[in-house]
Structure 1
Amino acid sequence: MPGIVNRPILRMTSGMLLVLTLSLTACTAFAPSQRASWKLTDPPPLDPQNQPLNSPQPATPNTQSRETQRIGPQQTIPQKQEPPAPPDNDMFAVPESIDRNQPPQPCDLPEEIPSRPRVETPQPQMRSKPETTPQRPSGPMMTPPAQVGPLEMTVDVIPKRQLGSGATFYLIVKNTSNQSVRNVILECEFDSALLFPGRREKKIGQRLGTLQPGESKEINLTLYSDALGNHCCRFRAIAEGEELVWKSVCVEYVKKQLELSVIGPSTRTIGSRAEYIIKLSNVNNVDLKNVLVSVSYDASLIPREASIGSERESGQLKWLLDTIRVGEGVQLQVEFDCEVAAEFACMRVNVSSPELPDEQASACLKVTPTQGVLDVHVRDTKDPIARGEETTYEVSIENRGLQPARGIQLQAKIPRMFRVVSVEAHQGNQKLNLRPEVNQNTLSVSPVQELPADAFLRYTIQVKAIGNGDGEFEVTITSADSEQLETRVSEITTVNR
C-alpha cells in the first residue's frame, strides 16, 4: 500500500524534472549569441533566431536562416525627408556672369589666407558636435559683407570624416526681410584637397532664384577627399552681384578605420519588400569597442524584420555591438514593406564609436505602382550565406487583369557566384512540367501557356554558392499577349568566404 501511494508522487516529480530540463535546453539553444562579430573569412553559422521585437518570446525554427527578429506594428511617425541634390543642369562653375550665355571669366585666387572668424554650427541630434576650427585653413576666403543683409545662412556638417568618405554640407538660406530677394546665387569655394564628383572646378554655384519674405531653401553638397588634414569650404549667397551673407566651415579627414557599405535594391513595387544588408569591417590596427549602429528611414518604409539585438525607436532602429576586432566584420539586415509610391524612399545608416568618427551611408529606392497586369515579386530564403551553402529564390507572379495571360516566360540572370541546382514551377497547388535551360549564367524556362485572372504562378530556383561576393539575381517576366507586359525584378544576395 505505501508503494502504491508514492507512485503518483514519483511520477509528478519525474515530470517536473523533465520539463525543467527541456526548458533549460531550449533557453540555451535559442539564446542570442553574445558575439556580434566574426572574422571575414570565417562567418558564424546562421541559425534561425526570430522573436517579436516588443515582447521577446522563445523562438521557433522556420525556413529562413537569417538571424532576424520580427518588428511589431507601431504607429508610423512622419520623417522629414532630406531634400534631393540640386540638378546638374542648375549647377555651374564660378566665377560666372549673371547671364548664362556669357562664358565664365578667369580669376586668380590667393594660395593662403589669414585666420578667419570662428563659425558657429547648428547641432542636430543625429550629428556629432563640431570641434574647434583650425586656425590656419588653406585656400581663399570670402570677404564678409559690410552690413547685415536680408539673408541668413546656416551650414551643418560632420566635422571629422574618414579618408575616402563623403562630407555632406547641409545649407539653409533664408530671407529674413519683408521684401523679396531676386536672382539669388549660392557659391561654394573649396580647398584643392576636396573633390566634387564629376567636376574639376574648385568653385561651383547653384541658382536659387527669388526668395520671398520668410522663405528658405535647403541645399546639400557632398565633397570627398583622399588627403589627411583639415579642408575647408566657403559659402556665400549673392543677389544682383552683391554679396549678402557668407559662411566658412572645415572638415578634418583622418585615417580610415571602418569600412561601411549598404547593399539593397534600387526599385520596388507597392506591396513588395526591400531587404538591405549593412556591412561593417574593422580595417584599423586596434579593436573597435562600443560600436553603435543606427538606421533611420523615411515614413514610406515600414520595417518588418531586423537582425537580432535591434531596438526600435521613433523612425529608427539601433544596435549596440560588442567589440569588433581587427580584421573582423559584422553584417546586419533590415527588411521594409513598401506600402506607398515614392520617388526616393531612403534609409540612412550612422555608425559611431569612441575610437572613430561618425561614419554614414545611405540607400534609396523608387517605389512604383505595378505596371501592367502581372504583379511580380522575388525574394531569397537565405541571405547572407557562406560559400558551399545553398539558397532558394522564390518568384511569385499574380495575374491582376480581367483576362487570362498567355505565354508567360521567365528568364533570370544568375550571379556569377551561383550554380543552379533545381527549378520548379507551381500554378496553385499543381506542379508544372517545364523545361529549364542555363546558358552562360542565363536561366530560361519554357513558357506557361495560360495564367487565369487572379491566379498565382510560383517558381522556386535553388542555387549553390561556388564563389563569394554580392550578386544580383534579376528576373525578367514576359507575356505573349503584349510586349508591354515585360517586368523586371531583382534581389541581391551576399555570399561570405
Structure 2
Amino acid sequence: MPGSRIRPLSGAVSILLLLLTLSTAACSALAPSQRSSWKLTDPPPLDPQNQPLNSPVPQTAPQSRETQRVNPQTIPQRQPTAPQPQEDLFAVPESLNRNQPPQPRDLPDQVMPRPQLRAPDIQSRSKPESLPKQPSGPMMTAPATAGPLEMTVDVIPKRQLGSGATFYLIIKNTSDRSVRNVLLECEFDAALMFPGRREKKIGQRLGTLQPGESKEISLTLYSDILGSHCCRFRALADGDELVWKSVCVEYEKKQLDLSVIGPSSRSIGSRAEYIVKLSNVANIDLNNIQVAISYDSALIPREASIGSTREPDQLTWSLDTIRSGEGVQLQVEFECEVAAEHACMRVNVTSPELPNEQVSACLKVTPAQGVLDVQVRDTKDPIARGEETVYEVSIENRGLQPARDIVLQAKIPRMFRVVSVEAHQGNQKLNLRPEVNQDILRVSPVRELPADAFLRYTILVKAIGSGDGEFNVTITGADAEKLETQVTEITTVNR
C-alpha cells in the first residue's frame, strides 16, 4: 500500500535532520568564542576576568578576545600626571604676541616628564637633521663652523589629533673646555600648543656644561590641526648660536581614543589598580592592535586581564580587531612594596594602521601615616549601569593604645545609590546607624578599637548612572591629629 512506504521515508528524514542539528551544534562548540568587546553605547555586563600573576611564565599563545572583559577584585583610581618641569622655562619676549587670543585649553594642563630618557621604539625614525619642507616660522642660520655643542632630537614622527608629541633632546659639550651660559630656545608652529601657555617661542637656561657633560630635556606639545607641524631648537652660549635642529611631526585624524585611570597615591603594602580604556572612534575597524604596559620596579604586578603575556618589566595583549564604535577595557593590579616618589606605569598601543599611542600614570607610594591604617577597595569594577558593587573599608589600629570614637564619612560618587551599610569588628557585627545626606554617607561612631584590632565596613551601592566616580573616605577619631585619614577610590560604570 502507498502508506507502507511513506513511514520509512519519514523516519529517514527525521534521522537526517537530527544528524544535521547535532553537527551544527558541534561546529558551534568548536568555533571561536564570541567577541566580548563592548559597544560604546550599550556594553554587556562585565564579569570577573582577571588572572593572578604569581608565576612569571608567559602564556604560549594569545587568548581570545576575552581580554577585554575585565573585572578585578581590588583597587582602581584615577589617572595622575606629574607636571612637566617648568621652573626654568620662560617665554622668549620677541615672540610674544599680546594681542593673540588665548589658545584652546581643552587639552591636559600638565604633561608628565619622561622618567628616563630613552629613544622611543619607532619603526620609522624621524630625521632630526633634515629641515622642514615648509616651516611656518623664521629660519635659523646654521653655524659657519662646528661648535662645541652637539644636539640630538628624537620624537615619534606621527601622532593622532589631540595626542602629545614629546621631543627628547640631548645637549652635549663635545669640546675640552667649559661652555657657559647655555640657553636652549624652542620655536614651534602656530598649530602646536604648550598646555597652559600661548606663546610659540620658549626658552630654558641650562647653565654651564663641563667638557663631556650632557643635559637631557623633554618637551611635549599638542595639536588639534591636521598636517605636518614643526619645532625648531637652538642652543646658544653668551648670545651666540652654536647648534640647531628642526623636527616635524605629522598629525593624523584621531581613530583610537586611549585613556588610563589609576591611583594618585598609595601606602606601602596596599595595591593599586589601573584601568586602560581603548575606543575605536573611527568609521572603520582597527586591526592588529597590540598593547604593552611597562612599569617601574617599585610596582609588582599581581593581577591582569586575561590574555596577557608577561615579559620582563611589561605585560602585553594582542587584541586583534576593535570594530568601529566599540571599546576595550584592560586592567592590571600592582602591589606597592616600597616607597617611591613617582612609581609609573606606561601604556603603549601599536598597530600597522595607526600611529603609536602612549599614555602614562604615576603614583606616590608612602609609608602608612598616623595610628590608623586605612585601606579601601571595590569588589567589582568596572560594572554596568543597574549593577551593584561593594566598597570595603578596612581599618587597623597600629598604635599601642585603643582608638576611640572612630567615625567614617564618605562622599558617594554621583552615579551610585547606597543600598546598605554594615560594620564588623573582628567577627562581631556592630550595631551602627548610617545616614545619607545627598551624596555624603556618615556612620555613627565606633566607641573603641583596641590596639592591633581591625574594623571593617562594607558599603553596598547600586549604579544609577555611568562614568568614572571617586569614592572618598575620611576616617576621624577622638584624637583628630593622629587619627584622621583620607583614602580615595575610583569606580567605572559603563552605559
**TM-score clears 0.5:** yes
Tell me which amino acid in the other structure corresponds to 1:235.
Answer: F
Partner of residue 320, structure 2: 322
1:307 to 279, 296, 305: 305
Give the Cα–Cα distance (whole angstroms) in 1 for the partners of residues 33 and 220 of structure 2. 38
Identity, in percent, stands at 78
Deviation at 1:180, TM superposition (A): 2.1
1:35 matched to 2:35: yes
> Which range is displaced more, 303-312 or 125-134?
125-134
Counterpart residue number, 2:125: 130
Q: Distance in 1 between matches of 2:383 and 2:346?
A: 24
Following superposition, the deviation at residue 224 of structure 1 comes to 0.8
Residue 351 (structure 1) aligned to one of 346, 349, 352: 349
Which residue of 443, 446, 458 corresponds with 1:445?
A: 443
Give the alignment's TM-score, normalised by structure 2.
0.81
Match of 1:147 among 140, 145, 163: 145
Runs of 4+ with >6 A deviation: 104-107
**Partner Cα distance (1:187, 1:396) in 2:** 52
**Residues 123 and 129 in structure 1, CA contact (< 8 A), matched pair in contact too:** no
**3-state SS of 2:87 partner:** helix
Output aligned runs, 1:267-416, within 5 Å: 267-416=265-414
Classify 1:242/1:56 alpha carbon distance in 2 versus 1 (closer, same or farther; 3 Å).
Answer: closer
* Aligned CA distance change for structure 1 residues 207 and 140 (closer, same or farther; 3 Å): same
Distance, in Å, in 1 between the alignment partners of 2:331 and 2:33 is 16
> C-alpha distance in 1, partners of 2:206/2:70?
47
Residue type matched to 2:383 in 1?
I
Q: Which residue of 2 aligns with 1:46?
A: 46
Shift of 1:38: 2.0
2:122 alignment partner AA? R
**Alignment check: 8 A CA contact 1:49 1:69 kept:** no
Q: CA deviation at 1:69?
A: 11
Q: Distance in 2 between matches of 1:84 and 1:462?
A: 33
Taking the TM superposition and a 5 Å limit, the aligned residue runs for 1:479-494 are 479-494=477-492
User: Superposition RMSD on alpha carbons, in Å?
Assistant: 2.8
Partner of 1:171: 169
Give the drift of 1:417: 0.3
For residues 368 and 32 of structure 1, do their structure 2 counterparts lie closer, same or farther at Cα, with a shift above 3 Å needed?
farther
For these two proteins, the number of residue pairs brought into alignment is: 430
Structure 1 149/33 Cα, relative in aligned 2: closer, same or farther at 3 Å? farther
**Displacement, 1:179?**
2.2
* SS in structure 2 of the partner of residue 143 of structure 1: coil
1:227 to 225, 228, 233: 225
Residue identity in the other structure for 1:477 = I
Residue aligned with 2:422, SS: strand
Summarize the Cα distance change of 1:128–1:407 in structure 2 as closer, same or farther, 3 Å threshold: farther
Q: Taking structure 1 as reference, are residues 259 and 105 closer, same or farther at Cα in structure 2, changes over 3 Å only?
A: closer
2: CA distance between counterparts of 1:141 and 1:265? Answer: 44
Aligned to 2:89: 91
Does structure 2 retain, via aligned residues, the 8 Å contact 1:423–1:462?
yes
Normalising by structure 1, we get a TM-score of 0.81
CA distance in 2, matches of 1:69, 1:430: 24
Q: Which residue does 1:162 correspond to in 2?
A: 160
For 2:91 and 2:50, how far apart are their aligned partners in 1? 53
Trace 1:410-429 onto structure 2 (pairs within 5 A): 410-429=408-427
- Following superposition, the deviation at residue 135 of structure 1 comes to 2.4
Deviation per CA, 1:190-226: give whole Å up to 9, x if none: 0011111111111001111222222221111111111
Over residues 20-44 of structure 1, what are the superposed CA-to-partner deviations in whole Å (9 max), with x where a residue is unaligned? xxxxxxxx89x99563522122323
Deviation string 1:437-486 (CA, Å, 9 cap, x unpaired) is 11111100111111111111111111000011110111111111133432
**SS of residue paired to 1:47:** coil
- Is the deviation greater in 145-154 or in 233-242? 145-154
**Residues in 2 aligned to 1:427 and 1:32: alpha-carbon distance in whole angstroms:** 48
